[in-house]
Amino acid sequence: MGALRAIIEAFNSLGCRRTGLDTERQRQILDIWKRRFGDARGVLWSRAPGRVNIIGEHTDYNQGYVFPIAIDRDIAVAFRPNGTGMVNLHALNLHDDASFALVDPKADPAHPWMVYPMGIARILGERGVAVPGLDVVFHGTVPTGGGLSSSAALTVAFGLAYSHAAGVPVDRRELALMCQQTEHRFCGVRCGIMDQFVSLHAQRGKAVFLDCRDLRHELVPCEFPDARFVICDTRVKHELASTEYNIRREQCEEAAAVLAEFLPGVKSLRDVNIQQFKAYQHRVPSPMRERARHVITENHRVLAARQAMLEGDALRLGILMDASHDSLDADYQVTSDELNLLVSLARDCKGVFGSRMTGGGFGGCTVTLIASSRAEEFCERVSRGYRERTGIEPHIYVVQPEQGAEILTA
């Protein structure tokens, strides 16, 4: 069996064939449910996908543009009202149980993962949503720490479940903002809105072009007939990621404040074009200058990438992806040796249009656009080269744009 086929079959064995729930995965979740909570009558389901950002990195919290797709890896939540004031949780992947009271909910430090379901329940409660007591079993196929937004998928899946159980119609824009606030308030990560927004708004076969200032978005057809997106996971996550993420955001805000002294109306780096930056970049001290240069040029690349995708121009999109990675490496300094190695290996392969890191950086994943006819060879060469250089077997996924979060009728 070819490497690509093996990868796809291994991928599908985790319950990721398309949107919805794979039958075997559903059975496994319900088996655990019955052991933990008894019979499974009346169990409801929600799911929320992870995402890969094709281009537009570290622009969302600068009120800029992003261009992600949802992927066929997700968080699935089985839930049922229990008639109490408690939410009882079982994390299937971790074989861990936790509970919290809906009156003044608090997370237990012994179960760090529960901050996400607890946090979104608390925020919904503050907005007047009467979240009922629930029994919950959840399972994820989004790699944690891989830059594919497992935390956003977890928060969104629970936000949908709570809203449905409370009988409240879901405003997806508002729910995305509440999920973002969960990470700000309870996780200490000042993330942008992209991850939560795409998980809630994505559609199969479409990329989401999002203006992070006003949340206007466009669903852009993303189906190249002769090219595929491939995710390569370094399986490395450096501990400085969350602290450095917040530092980058502060540096961008400082750069915008300096430029605003010379450019009236500038509220964020989104408001500065390339020509204006060139005229005043000498006024911005380093490293704020380099951070600003990345964000300003990246916004320009996202706009160009949208046009390339509309025209089906894989070559142009790949060039923009390459430029994005080089900027993230040199100016934003959020890559890692492992990410740079994967990108270098990818660029040496025949049929590759472009390759870049995706996500917050300092480990995690790359995304590569490659000719479909070369995908199997690509997977074999990159896997072998990375393993020989690092001793780590990378995880490689061929992905396509998938459906956003939903309540299922399983």
Rounded Cα distance, 50 and 371, in Å: 24
The total domain count for the chain is 2
Asked if 173 and 231 sit in the same domain, the reply is no
The predicted pLDDT at position 107 comes to 87
Q: Please, which residues bridge with residue 76 across strands?
A: 47, 139
Residue 239's pLDDT band (cuts 50, 70, 90): low
The predicted pLDDT at position 32 comes to 97
Containing domain of residue 327, as a range?
227-399
Half-sphere exposure of 211 (CA within 13 A, CB side): 9
CATH number at residue 266: 3.30.70.890
107 vs 122, residue with greater confidence? 122
Nearest to 233 by CA among 113, 145, 360, 120: 145
Asked if 241 and 348 sit in the same domain, the reply is yes
Q: Could you write out the DSSP letters of every residue in 247-307?
A: HHHHHHHHHHHHHHTTSTT-SSGGG--HHHHHHHGGGSPTTHHHHHHHHHHHHHHHHHHHH
Asked if 214 and 354 sit in the same domain, the reply is no
pLDDT at residue 235 above 70?
yes
> Can you tell me whether residue 172 is helix, strand or coil?
helix
Asked if 361 and 381 sit in the same domain, the reply is yes
The predicted pLDDT at position 10 comes to 36
Q: Please, which residues bridge with residue 365 across strands?
A: 233, 358
The predicted pLDDT at position 245 comes to 86
Token pair listed for 135:
């029994």
- Please classify residue 104 by burial: count the beta carbons closer than 10 Å to its beta carbon, then call 0-12 exposed, 13-18 middle and 19+ buried: exposed
Residue 9's pLDDT band (cuts 50, 70, 90): very low
Residue 238's pLDDT band (cuts 50, 70, 90): low
Asked if 76 and 130 sit in the same domain, the reply is yes
Asked if 183 and 274 sit in the same domain, the reply is no
Q: Please, which residues bridge with residue 53 across strands?
A: 68
Q: How many helices (H) and strands (E) does the chain have?
A: 12, 12
Buried b or exposed e, range 80-89, using 16+ CB within 10 angstroms: beeeeebbbb
What percent helix, strand, coil does the chain show, rounded to 5?
45, 25, 30
**Residues 342-356: tens digit of each pLDDT:** 999 999 999 999 999
**Block residue for tokens 């237990």:** 108
Asked if 75 and 168 sit in the same domain, the reply is yes
Rounded Cα distance, 408 and 14, in Å: 18
Asked if 110 and 175 sit in the same domain, the reply is yes
The predicted pLDDT at position 18 comes to 43
Asked if 39 and 105 sit in the same domain, the reply is yes
Write the CB contacts of 393 (distance below 8 Å, at least 6 apart in sequence): 235, 383, 386, 387
Residues annotated as catalytic are: 195
Residue 146's pLDDT band (cuts 50, 70, 90): confident
Asked if 216 and 282 sit in the same domain, the reply is no
Rounded mean pLDDT of 76-104?
Answer: 97
**Residues 297-319: tens digit of each pLDDT:** 999 999 999 999 999 999 999 99
Asked if 213 and 240 sit in the same domain, the reply is no
Asked if 111 and 213 sit in the same domain, the reply is yes
Rounded Cα distance, 152 and 143, in Å: 12
